[in-house]
């Protein structure tokens, strides 16, 4: 049963006001509004919990993560029911995302049991070294303290209450305070119930996790500016993420803000591949572009190809594939409205030609495809900005130098993709050093939607794709965001952390 309340340090807590959800289907429900005062209570509790939780063994935290996954799975039917109602996402998508969410919790449990992430180092003492002796030094990664996590609109499970940021922070030994997204507050609460059940079953401190439901901007500001918060995880828009990043940097004690802000994820169609299998690539690209109504941060919204008959055929095949895709329900009214404004911005830009246009009304979004030449793309800076939804833009360049110029001119991306055959390797070798500086993940002959949760995954990139190019928000390496190295010099073994003893 939903309470409509916040979860603060084990207690379901009402607020002074409520907001009403805006579901895609079903009845709207009332939920408590977050406040800075509630933020302070949750963060104070997280700081108190850190004294215990930060000292727990890896085995205990792994058991806790596994139990959270079990509790989420036990509530699977409830999560799917409320999630489909709130977001309009199909049941299969929610069930798949739940599997990803529980899978990454269990992955982090296995990861910390192995202990490799601790990066333990030992320089033994050299008392007889001349001219000066060397002390005994041991290094290990230690948790940083309470972490703030912002739920994402487009992933009600995998990037929200118990998503990757929360899972990796808890794995590291950091208590978490989540600011839930108002697009799916019921889903957030049921997942919070699962986390609370796991806390109670494993004996973790109640302040290890808190959920504050959606509120005004002052709630997010209070959370990132709270002096006991040591880092922030965020997945969302460039504007919102940049505002929070600036607040973190302006604190008396600046803290890291790990913001994943999305990108246009350019796809480069190299000539031999385009000539040999352009129609096949077009069909796959159209499917990736429209997956989930295009509401993925890895949505491949930009295609770069050499102008000519092969590009013409690609556009025709892509338009034909997109024309078969019906309008889809977007996550919120605001996202749907932003999509329509984005389409109008692209369609109205100088030099842009429509290949396929569809009407989008209310919360429904249809696919759209446009094309522009290289000169028009370079002249219209807004053409390189993300349109969150099923809209694609093909940039036609005159030659290989033009393709390299597009690659050099784009801003930081989460992904860049090359479609290539063996005959394209010479051009690909020229592109690779450029793309390595632009994206955290470079794909060959694939599509970027579908981010594998694995050891080698990098989901991040140079700004504005993310605010920290050295980090990832997906994969086991994401735990590094919530750790810092500590060196212990000549420290008695009895005083060392358990992971060094």
> What are the residues facing 329 on neighbouring strands?
364
- Count, in order, helices (H) and strands (E) of the chain: 14, 21
> What are the residues facing 476 on neighbouring strands?
none
Q: Helix or strand or coil: residue 410? A: coil
Question: Helices 164-172 and 91-114 meet at what angle, rounded to 10?
Answer: 20
Contacts of 310 (CB under 8 A, 6+ apart): 271, 274, 275, 278
Q: Return the beta strands (E) in 146-190 as ranges.
A: 147-150, 176-179
| Residues recognised as catalytic | 260, 297
Distance of CA 373 to the CA centre of its chain: 32
The CA dihedral of 219, 224, 228, 231, to the nearest 10 degrees, is 140
The CA dihedral of 424, 426, 428, 430, to the nearest 10 degrees, is -150
- Beta-sheet pairing, 328-329 with 364-365: antiparallel
Phi first, then psi, for residue 434 (nearest 5°) are: -75, -45
- Contact of 175 with 208, CB cutoff 8 Å: yes
Secondary element (H or E) of residue 436 = helix 425-436
Distance of CA 237 to the CA centre of its chain: 11
Tokens of 494: 């009895």
Where do runs of H (alpha helix) occur along 75-121? 76-87, 91-114
* DSSP labels, 270-338: -HHHHHHHHHHHHHHHHHHHHGGGG-STT---EEEEESSHHHHHHHHHHHHHHHTSPPEE-S-HHHHHH
Nearest to 156 by CA among 282, 256, 37, 21: 21
End-to-end CA distance of the chain: 45
Tokens of 207: 């302040």
Contacts of 195 (CB under 8 A, 6+ apart): 7, 68, 71, 161, 162, 209
Nearest to 441 by CA among 285, 267, 291: 267
Nearest to 340 by CA among 377, 298, 285, 388: 388
Distance of CA 403 to the CA centre of its chain: 29
CA distance 237 to 222: 19
Q: Residue 12 carries which DSSP code?
A: E
């Amino acid at each position: 049963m939903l309470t409509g309340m916040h979860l603060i340090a084990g207690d379901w807590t009402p607020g002074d006001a409520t907001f009403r959800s805006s579901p895609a289907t079903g009845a709207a429900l009332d939920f408590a509004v977050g406040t800075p005062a509630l933020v302070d209570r949750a963060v104070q509790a997280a700081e108190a919990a850190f004294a215990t939780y930060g000292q727990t063994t890896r085995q205990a935290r792994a058991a806790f993560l596994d139990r959270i996954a079990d509790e989420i799975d036990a509530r699977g039917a409830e999560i799917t029911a409320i999630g489909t109602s709130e977001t309009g996402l199909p049941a299969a998508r929610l069930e798949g995302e739940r599997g990803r969410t529980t899978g990454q919790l269990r992955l982090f449990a296995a990861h910390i049991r192995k202990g490799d992430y601790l990066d333990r180092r030992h320089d033994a003492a050299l008392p007889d070294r001349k001219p000066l002796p060397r002390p005994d030094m041991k290094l290990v990664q230690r948790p940083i303290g309470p972490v703030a996590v912002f739920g994402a609109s487009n992933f009600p499970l995998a990037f929200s209450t118990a998503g990757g940021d929360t899972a990796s922070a808890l794995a590291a030994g950091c208590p978490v305070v989540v600011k839930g997204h108002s697009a799916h507050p019921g889903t957030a609460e049921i997942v919070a119930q699962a986390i609370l059940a796991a806390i109670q079953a494993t004996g973790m401190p109640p302040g290890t996790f808190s959920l504050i439901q959606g509120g005004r901007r002052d709630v997010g500001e209070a959370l990132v500016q709270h002096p006991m918060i040591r880092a922030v995880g965020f997945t969302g828009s460039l504007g919102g993420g940049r505002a929070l990043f600036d607040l973190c940097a302006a604190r008396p004690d600046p803290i890291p803000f790990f913001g994943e802000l999305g990108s246009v994820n350019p796809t480069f169609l190299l000539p031999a591949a385009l000539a040999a299998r352009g129609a096949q690539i077009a069909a796959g690209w159209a499917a990736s572009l429209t997956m989930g109504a295009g509401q993925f941060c890895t949505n491949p919204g930009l295609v770069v190809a050499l102008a000519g008959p092969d590009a013409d055929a690609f556009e025709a095949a892509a338009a034909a594939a997109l024309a078969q895709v019906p309008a889809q329900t977007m996550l919120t009214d605001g996202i749907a409205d932003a999509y329509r404004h984005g389409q109008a911005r692209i369609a109205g830009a100088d030099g842009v030609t429509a290949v396929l246009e569809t009407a989008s009304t209310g919360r429904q979004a249809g696919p759209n495809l446009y094309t522009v030449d290289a000169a028009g793309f370079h002249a219209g800076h807004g053409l390189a900005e993300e349109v969150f939804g099923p809209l694609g833009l093909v940039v036609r360049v005159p030659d290989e130098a033009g393709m390299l110029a597009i690659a050099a001119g784009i801003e930081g991306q989460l992904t860049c993709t090359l479609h290539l055959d063996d005959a394209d390797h010479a051009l690909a070798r020229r592109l690779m050093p450029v793309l390595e500086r632009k994206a955290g993940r470079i794909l060959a002959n694939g599509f970027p939607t579908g981010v594998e949760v694995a050891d080698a995954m990098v989901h991040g990139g140079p700004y504005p794709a993310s605010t920290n190019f050295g980090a990832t928000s997906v994969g086991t390496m994401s735990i590094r965001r919530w750790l810092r190295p500590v060196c212990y010099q000549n420290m008695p073994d009895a005083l060392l952390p358990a992971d060094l003893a």
